[in-house]
Amino acid sequence: MDTEALWLTLRLAGTTTVVLLAVALPLAWWIASGSGVARALVQAVVALPLVLPPTVIGFYLLVGLGPLTPVGRAVTRMLGHSLAFSFAGLLLGSILYSLPFAVQPLVAGFQSIGREYVEAASMLGASPLRSFFDVVLPMSRPALVTAAVLSFTHTVGEFGVVLMLGGNIPGRTRTLSVAIFDQVQDAQYADASRTALVLVAFSVVALLAIYTRRGWRGVESGS
Amino acid sequence: MSQAPETSFHHEVELSHRTGPLSLDVRFELTKPWTVLFAPSGAGKSTILRMIAGLAAPNTGRVALRYGEQKVVLTDTSRRIMIPPHLRAVRLVAQRPALFPNRSVILNLQYGMPTPERNRQSLDKHFALLDSVVELCRISPLLYKMPSQLSGGESQRVAIARAIAAGFGRLLMLDEPFTGMDGVLRDELIAGLKEWQAKQGAPILMVTHDIGEVFATGAEVMRMENGRIVAVGPAEIVLAAERERLLGLLGRTADPLQG
């Protein structure tokens, strides 16, 4: 069992989830609170990782963040090292890769809340920001849980982006899903099956977390 | 309860709007303590309230409120003025109560009230206000329930109480507020609201399609037809015509039976 890879995977998935929620909350709220060409475009871009092969995302990030582009050079100068083949690079890749899994449940959750609640709050003097935190967020708790769990597990399971962007550096960029690939290539099937089991257990627990919560005192369904 | 002095007000509303089948062209002033906008369902009454509240924008129009010494223009399409709803200091109790489902009734009531300071005097004042609103709307047994546990009529009363607790602001608007309430309760609530209105000074604008409610309030009536206000005055006069019209309709439908 590669505990270094396990720890790295958890760290990556945890950090990704936190950053992703911070990014996805305002983004999802903006998408949910209107319609128009701009919103459709943003939504399409957000959904892109669902249909693109992960290797394609990894490839573009690798090239885009490398020394060939001005952005890549600027980032490299700022950080003192290239984003490619580093934890920060993996983090960025994971955030982009899992973005739809955070944004889409939140958009659906926000859209299911009737406008009348936000309007009622505004009629009591609450600013849009205040009603977002007081009314919208508490009412979207199930969507929030779903977004967090999906972001976390999807990041745990990513492979293509990690391999393209991070390579396979033990302790830096070698996650569980990459480790299992290595173990199989070295014909260490016992190790591989232990790693695989850990990943399966993760997924089952995560899905259970989502589906047991569904039955909770849902805001819409009452007590 | 705040001891607001009797304040004079003069609100002017001018709205013109067209969407689909709905065509609105209204112009009115609010100078009486309680005004009722009377029209059949689907005539755009709620839309007018939403436009005054800033929740909807008219094609063209102007909403200007004078309250005491203050005169504020909330909407003026010709000058591109559109104050956001939460800064207008007007209250709207919508037809659907929209109580916050994650808050108990008492927390709903407190939502629009200023947070009391942590001293005896301020807290006493806060809870005295809360008590009198709860008393007025007869909701003391409901205080610690969640909105999902309330009936439709109870939710409606809590929604009214929540708006009153926040203070009338410059204008309190009620959209079909007494639907699903029995007559006794309704009359009590109307009497209570009148007392509050006298103390707060800001006017009430109510919308309804129920003639009984209009007479119960004894308020000034604006009758709306086809998106226009066609008559303004006391209920006895304005709705006498309405009643005759209804009777006329009844007479016509009765004819074939007789003949």
What domains are defined for chain A? 3-214 (1.10.3720.10)
How would residue B215 be classed by pLDDT, with cut points 50, 70 and 90? confident
pLDDT of residue A214: 56
Between the alpha carbon of residue A138 and those of residues A106, A134, A218, the distances in Å are: 12, 7, 11
ipTM over 0.90: no
The DSSP element (H or E) to which A131 belongs, if any, is helix A128-131
Chain A nearest CA to B146, separation (Å): 9
The answer to whether B92 contacts chain A (CB < 8 Å) is yes
Closest C-alpha to B179, from B109, B104, B97: B97
Nearest CA in chain B to A115: B98
How would residue A1 be classed by pLDDT, with cut points 50, 70 and 90? low
- Assess whether pLDDT exceeds 90 at residue B120: yes
What value, to the nearest 5°, has the Cα angle with vertex B202 and ends A119 and B156? 45
Contacts of A138 in chain B (CB under 8 A): 102
Domain residue spans of chain B: 9-258
Tens of pLDDT, residue by residue over A100-117, are 999 999 999 999 998 899
Query: Is A136 exposed, middle or buried, given 0-12, 13-18 or 19+ CB atoms closer than 10 A?
Result: buried
Closest C-alpha to A124, from B58, B109, B229, B143: B109
Mean pLDDT within B224-249 = 83
How would residue A157 be classed by pLDDT, with cut points 50, 70 and 90? confident
pLDDT of residue A80: 82
Average pLDDT, chain B: 89
Tens of pLDDT, residue by residue over A5-20, are 889 999 999 999 999 9
Contacts of B57 in chain A (CB under 8 A): none
pLDDT of residue B253: 58
- Assess whether pLDDT exceeds 50 at residue A219: no
Tens of pLDDT, residue by residue over B30-82, are 999 999 999 988 888 999 999 999 999 999 999 999 988 888 999 999 999 99
- Assess whether pLDDT exceeds 90 at residue A221: no
Closest Cβ opposite residue B162 in set A114, A124, A219 = A124
Within B105-219, residue ranges assigned H as helices are 105-110, 120-137, 152-165, 183-200, 211-217
The answer to whether B90 contacts chain A (CB < 8 Å) is yes
Mean pLDDT within A69-85 = 84
Chain A nearest CA to B13, separation (Å): 18
Nearest CA in chain B to A123: B91
The answer to whether B166 contacts chain A (CB < 8 Å) is yes
Mean pLDDT within A176-187 = 89
The answer to whether B91 contacts chain A (CB < 8 Å) is yes
CB contact under 8 A, A116 and B162: no
CB contact under 8 A, B86 and A125: yes
Which of A24-28, A55-59, B11-15, B102-106 has the lowest average pLDDT?
Answer: A55-59
Mean pLDDT within A175-196 = 90
pLDDT of residue A70: 87
CATH 3.40.50.920 holds for B9-258: no
Which of A100-114, A160-174, B189-203 has the lowest average pLDDT?
Answer: A160-174
pLDDT of residue B251: 67
